[in-house]
A and B are shown apart, each in its own frame.
Chain A
Amino acid sequence: MRRVLLLVLLAGTPAAGTAQSSQFGVRGLGLPGRALSVHALSTGGAFGLFDPESSLNPAALGAFPAMTAVFSGMQDFRHVENPAGTASVRESRFPQMAVGGPLRRYPLAFGLGFSNYTSRDFTLASADTILLRDVLVPVSDTVSSRGGLSDLSVGGAYRIQEHWAVGGSFHILTGTNRVSAHRTFADTVYKPSSQNSEISFAGVGVELGLVRSFGTGFAVAAIARSDGRARIDRDSVSVSRVDLPYTFGLGLRWQVRPKLTLAGQGLFRTWSGANSDLLEQGGTGADNTIDLAFGGEFTPDARRPSRRPLRFGVRYGSLPFPLLVGEQAHELGVSIGSGIRFAQERAGIDLGLEHVWRSAGAYSERALLVSVGVTVRP
């Protein structure tokens, strides 16, 4: 019956495009995605560098016990505050999908991933009064964007003597932003206007990662990734290029007790490389970002770790694209989650809840993120 309940909850998380959106994803390339499975999201992302279902570390692919397919959905309930007012918004997205598994008789594993790289989903509404033909005319403006960048990855891991796993992956970064601007006038003699444009992105990246285990209780993971430059086309015409960041990450995992495992990770991204490109295009630039996460997983039954585990975590991060020049946004999130496995561990569902606070100057928002992940091992 519980499985049925979970499936009902899963059905309530519908399909859409990328990851969660935010008013802090209005500028630049948008709000960066996290490439985490629901399992890792429930721990604030602390287990991300060790999680084969996430797409953060190719070396973690070696942890797949069998061929596995994972996808996740996220429902975002958000309250936005800015100098223009407040609003409650919500949306549904599929931020992460992955397929991977070990190669029989070889210490190799391969994986494919589809994750959100950045998301630019927003609709901004504003009102003003402008002077037209010597008469003040109230106007209503709406600027909308849908889409973002997606990360298609192909990776592999090689396990060395049980303690080491190294991996590499190749990433195709692609996506489209459909942007539109609408204006209506209170005086209907002025006709409403609607303008649309399509901005598309294309780039590639490479990544190297490793996981080093020290016995059964302690492990270290590290990654280095370069995403090169992305080409930007507007309505099929090449208009600019933007530097994408280098990413460096370090993670630690410690099994404190047989029932309790703790982890932490830090990620550093050199988004400031895009600063000059964005300023040149009239944007507000970009800043380097750091993501810090700490979390744990408590398993009531150490012999059956997949039975009702309790996951928890906290994270802090900075966002790369400021709304106003020189005012970088930050976010703080706390999360909790659990999951079940059934059908002899061939299928499973993970649930995660995360509450996030983001702010920069007069702009702030808080969001409740409900994530559901489905794992299938055929």
Chain B
Amino acid sequence: MRRALIGLGSVVGLAGVLTACQERLTSPAECPGLCPGGEQTLFESVLAPRAGLDSSFHTYVAPGQGAALLVSSGLAVSEDRAVYRFVTLQDSIAVRDTARAYVVDSVLITLNIVARDTLVDGLKVMLFRLPPTVDSTATFESVDPQLVEANLIDTIAVPDSLHVGQITTMLRGSEVDRVAIPKGTGGVLAMGVRLTAAAPTGIRIGSLAAGNGATYVSYLTVDVPDTGSTRHQFLSRATQFNTFVTQNRPAPDPTLLTVGGDSSSRSIIRFALPPQLRDSATIIRATLELIPAHPLLGLPGDPALLDARAVLADLGAKSPITTDASFIVTDSLPQGSSDTLRLEVTRLVKLWQSSTDRPPAIFLILRPEAATFTRAAFGSTNPASPVGPPRLLITYQLPFPFEIP
């Protein structure tokens, strides 16, 4: 009996050891009855940008330096043609330490489709030979007239099932003459790209900057007379330069905040955070509202991304902006929408509170820059703006009124 009691006591004691260290203090409460200090009260405030200090800046990325090139056919937003110029192709190759002439048997040209409107079928990509001197000074007016039958290299039918990926054409026999580079002309091939389709549409194709620009491969036969044999080799040439040209490039409206477009515009919006918010408020939610000046233009099915980024120092157009993903808010811009755009920028506003070094400003960037058809313009504080300016909706709470005995 005595041992049994001791054993029972040991079990009880051990259970006590295992459970007693736990602390559980949470109990239900009905505020404000039981809550010392009362309830947490939320406030909402609307901040307007500093008048006249919201601006747009342009040409951060030149056409062709972005992640894609634009080619379109009858698209409402813009009419575009792409231009590729390839790395120089030498007119001889070395075989057994001897430079020897070669004969081009066939040529493979490859392009990468990055995006398309999948609802439009019957796309045909037309390749035209351009002078090897084409460069960044090319304009739509200088390029488009050369995209005629006489300069046609080939037409590539894009399968309707192909959304993203390579399209190629192989030139053989007499077709090779369309890309033939006579000796002594520098060995440079350049070509222009245009599009036809069953309906107005556009495509985005690979670029040098993205590492997926066009390539052309020449398959060669080298005659080696000393041995009476022939050698088959190939030479691959990548894009050396590329750009796209736009018809009737619209000049950004100075009364609006413009982002994107072939001008790769960016906008800055500056706010003045009231002392009450800066010093003692806890920001619960901050929403940046942008009112489009017109329906968002772009390629259907290929939305661009709008970034709202924290500004590290306010230096106007050259303001350094954050690359920390924590302080970048991204949303897609659906083509055709004219609804007010709302971006949740709570972290950015909290950054303004926590660091006096960070100006209370937001930079708007459209991605991919200089590589999307999308062009957006939002109302500004300019009195001539056809729609209202941006605004910042802030939900916050003041310090909790802890009950002081």
Q: How many A-B residue pairs have CB under 8 A?
A: 173
Contacts of A87 in B (CB 8 A): 26-28
Assembly CA distance A27 to B395 (angstroms): 30
Q: Do A29 and B405 touch (CB < 8 A)?
A: yes
Whether, in the assembled complex, B148 has its beta carbon less than 8 Å from a beta carbon of chain A, the answer is no
Whether, in the assembled complex, B251 has its beta carbon less than 8 Å from a beta carbon of chain A, the answer is no
- Chief secondary structure at chain B's binding surface: mixed
What are 21 sample pairs from A and B whose C-beta atoms fall under 8 A apart? A2-B6, A5-B9, A12-B20, A13-B16, A14-B21, A23-B27, A26-B36, A84-B30, A87-B26, A91-B24, A126-B35, A133-B395, A141-B40, A142-B26, A143-B35, A143-B37, A183-B40, A195-B282, A197-B399, A232-B405, A239-B404
Q: Which of A96-104, A116-124, A247-255 lies on the face that meets chain B?
A: A116-124
Whether, in the assembled complex, B13 has its beta carbon less than 8 Å from a beta carbon of chain A, the answer is yes
Whether, in the assembled complex, B17 has its beta carbon less than 8 Å from a beta carbon of chain A, the answer is yes
- Closest A residue to B6 by beta carbon equals A1
**Contact flags B31-62 to A (C-beta < 8 A → 1, else 0):** 10111111110101000000000000000000
- Closest B residue to A363 by beta carbon equals B34
Contact for A27 among B36, B40, B400, CB less than 8 A: B36
**Contact A132:B42 (CB < 8 A) given known A122-B25, A232-B404:** yes
Contact for A240 among B19, B25, B404, CB less than 8 A: B404
- Closest B residue to A78 by beta carbon equals B27
**Contact flags A141-164 to B (C-beta < 8 A → 1, else 0):** 111110000000000000000000
**Contact flags A1-34 to B (C-beta < 8 A → 1, else 0):** 1100100110111101000010100111100000
Contact for B29 among A84, A240, A242, CB less than 8 A: A84
Contacts of A130 in B (CB 8 A): 42
Assembly CA distance A281 to B30 (angstroms): 21
List 12 additional contacts besides A83-B30, A189-B285; criterion CB under 8 Å.
A12-B13, A82-B28, A89-B27, A124-B27, A124-B28, A128-B39, A133-B44, A143-B400, A179-B402, A181-B402, A281-B403, A282-B403
**Contact A189:B30 (CB < 8 A) given known A124-B35, A181-B40, A242-B405:** no
- Closest B residue to A86 by beta carbon equals B28
- Closest A residue to B17 by beta carbon equals A12
Q: How far is the CB of B109 from chain A (nearest CB, A)?
A: 49
**Contact A125:B27 (CB < 8 A) given known A27-B36, A190-B395, A199-B404:** yes
Q: How far is the CB of A180 from chain B (nearest CB, A)?
A: 9
Q: How far is the CB of A100 from chain B (nearest CB, A)?
A: 28
Whether, in the assembled complex, B370 has its beta carbon less than 8 Å from a beta carbon of chain A, the answer is no
Whether, in the assembled complex, A136 has its beta carbon less than 8 Å from a beta carbon of chain B, the answer is no
Contacts of A232 in B (CB 8 A): 404-405
Q: Do B16 and A8 touch (CB < 8 A)?
A: yes
Q: How far is the CB of A118 from chain B (nearest CB, A)?
A: 9
Contacts of A92 in B (CB 8 A): 20-21, 23
Question: Chain B interface (Cβ within 8 Å of chain A)?
Answer: 6, 9-10, 12-14, 16-31, 33-40, 42, 44, 282-285, 344, 346, 393, 395, 397, 399-405
Whether, in the assembled complex, A256 has its beta carbon less than 8 Å from a beta carbon of chain B, the answer is no
Assembly CA distance A47 to B238 (angstroms): 98
Q: How far is the CB of B46 from chain A (nearest CB, A)?
A: 11
Most chain B beta-carbon contacts within 10 A, residue among A28, A121, A240, A282: A282
Whether, in the assembled complex, A41 has its beta carbon less than 8 Å from a beta carbon of chain B, the answer is no
Contacts of A189 in B (CB 8 A): 285, 344
**Contact A90:B17 (CB < 8 A) given known A26-B34, A193-B397:** no
Whether, in the assembled complex, A335 has its beta carbon less than 8 Å from a beta carbon of chain B, the answer is no
Whether, in the assembled complex, A191 has its beta carbon less than 8 Å from a beta carbon of chain B, the answer is yes
Contacts of A191 in B (CB 8 A): 283-285, 346
Whether, in the assembled complex, A40 has its beta carbon less than 8 Å from a beta carbon of chain B, the answer is no
Q: How far is the CB of B41 from chain A (nearest CB, A)?
A: 9
- Chief secondary structure at chain A's binding surface: strand
Assembly CA distance A181 to B14 (angstroms): 36
Q: How far is the CB of B186 from chain A (nearest CB, A)?
A: 59
Which 6 residue pairs of A and B lie closest in terms of their CB atoms, listed nearest first?
A: A12-B16, A8-B13, A124-B29, A85-B28, A84-B30, A84-B28
- Closest A residue to B35 by beta carbon equals A143
Contacts of A183 in B (CB 8 A): 40, 397
The bracket for how many chain A residues form the interface is: 35 or more
Contacts of A143 in B (CB 8 A): 29, 35-37, 400
Q: Do A90 and B40 touch (CB < 8 A)?
A: no
- Closest B residue to A83 by beta carbon equals B30
Assembly CA distance A89 to B25 (angstroms): 5
Contacts of B26 in A (CB 8 A): 87, 89, 123-125, 142
Whether, in the assembled complex, A289 has its beta carbon less than 8 Å from a beta carbon of chain B, the answer is no
Q: How far is the CB of A91 from chain B (nearest CB, A)?
A: 5
Whether, in the assembled complex, A75 has its beta carbon less than 8 Å from a beta carbon of chain B, the answer is yes
Q: How far is the CB of A146 from chain B (nearest CB, A)?
A: 9
Assembly CA distance A29 to B403 (angstroms): 10
Contacts of B10 in A (CB 8 A): 5, 8
Contacts of A317 in B (CB 8 A): none
Whether, in the assembled complex, A302 has its beta carbon less than 8 Å from a beta carbon of chain B, the answer is no
Contacts of B40 in A (CB 8 A): 141, 181, 183, 193
- Closest B residue to A9 by beta carbon equals B13
Assembly CA distance A123 to B34 (angstroms): 11
Assembly CA distance A16 to B31 (angstroms): 28
**Contact A123:B284 (CB < 8 A) given known A181-B400, A199-B405:** no
Q: Do B395 and A126 touch (CB < 8 A)?
A: no
Whether, in the assembled complex, A324 has its beta carbon less than 8 Å from a beta carbon of chain B, the answer is yes
Contacts of A274 in B (CB 8 A): 405
Assembly CA distance A363 to B29 (angstroms): 10
Whether, in the assembled complex, A263 has its beta carbon less than 8 Å from a beta carbon of chain B, the answer is no
Whether, in the assembled complex, A59 has its beta carbon less than 8 Å from a beta carbon of chain B, the answer is no
Contact for B34 among A84, A142, A234, A240, CB less than 8 A: A84
Assembly CA distance A363 to B28 (angstroms): 11
Q: How far is the CB of A367 from chain B (nearest CB, A)?
A: 12
Assembly CA distance A123 to B405 (angstroms): 17
- Closest A residue to B344 by beta carbon equals A189
Contacts of B282 in A (CB 8 A): 193, 195
Contacts of A310 in B (CB 8 A): none
- Closest A residue to B398 by beta carbon equals A195
Whether, in the assembled complex, A283 has its beta carbon less than 8 Å from a beta carbon of chain B, the answer is yes
- Closest A residue to B284 by beta carbon equals A190
Assembly CA distance A179 to B37 (angstroms): 11
Contacts of A142 in B (CB 8 A): 26
Whether, in the assembled complex, A80 has its beta carbon less than 8 Å from a beta carbon of chain B, the answer is yes
